[in-house]
Amino acid sequence: ILNVEQSPQSLHVQEGDSTNFTCSFPSSNFYALHWYRWETAKSPEALFVMTLNGDEKKKGRISATLNTKEGYSYLYIKGSQPEDSATYLCAEGGYQKVTFGTGTKLQVIP
Amino acid sequence: EPEVTQTPSHQVTQMGQEVILRCVPISNHLYFYWYRQILGQKVEFLVSFYNNEISEKSEIFDDQFSVERPDGSNFTLKIRSTKLEDSAMYFCASTRRGVDEQFFGPGTRLTVL
């Protein structure tokens, strides 16, 4: 992996379904992994920053895991709600430079 | 809750003109960033700034670009001679410590005609 990549590019789920997305990043020279939620016409909002292999973080129904050895992170949303509809960005990097993925656009259907 | 602000929200300019995009980061933050997103593309890193100097810049950030923190509160991005391909949404971000979450401003949409 040379760049930060996210999959899927877009996702439609029914309200109440749980879902997850993947972020892949170069495992060499890893500094930190960031997840952001980006709603239309707003600015990206930070969800998590993770630095250690095996890190797991949780905020309400949203959680994330990190595997720095193999270069991936998962974001999970439990019981999706319409207000979870947004683009979810991941980014790798630290205080000097952060590289973003292309995002996963989630649409939760009521 | 403290927030990052950016002005203007939308700037329209002619090709070749200079533009200055302004940002006011959160007051106790120490690290500052500019990003841009060309429509339909990913968010791209432009530059990071700490202790009154550039920490890192991308290949996009050429001699036409400069940043400044003139008065301890504002953080500006200047494009000396705009090109059509500079049309994008420009985001400013700040963080207290390098490893912390970054707080983004609402963005400035730059349109170069």
Q: How many beta-carbon pairs under 8 angstroms link A with B? A: 58
Instruction: Closest CB to B107: pick one of A34, A43, A96.
Output: A43
| pLDDT, position A2 | 66
Whether the ω angle into residue B106 lies within 30 degrees of 0, i.e. cis, is no
* Average pLDDT over all residues of chain A: 93
| pLDDT, position B98 | 74
Quickly count: other Cβ atoms within 10 Å of residue A83's Cβ.
Answer: 8
- The answer to whether A91 and A33 have CB atoms below 8 angstroms apart is yes
pLDDT tens column, A8-55: 999 999 999 999 999 999 988 899 999 999 998 888 999 999 999 999
Q: Kindly state the percentage of chain A with pLDDT values over 90.
A: 84
Instruction: Say how far apart CA A38 and CA A76 lie, in whole Å.
Output: 16
Q: Which chain B positions have a beta carbon within 8 Å of A5's beta carbon?
A: none
* Average pLDDT over all residues of chain B: 94
Q: Which chain B positions have a beta carbon within 8 Å of A45's beta carbon?
A: 104
Q: Is the pLDDT of residue B66 over 70?
A: yes
Instruction: Say how far apart CA B34 and CA B104 lie, in whole Å.
Output: 9
Instruction: With H, G, I as helix, E, B as strand and everything else as coil, classify residue B88.
Output: strand
Instruction: Say how far apart CA B41 and CA A101 lie, in whole Å.
Output: 10
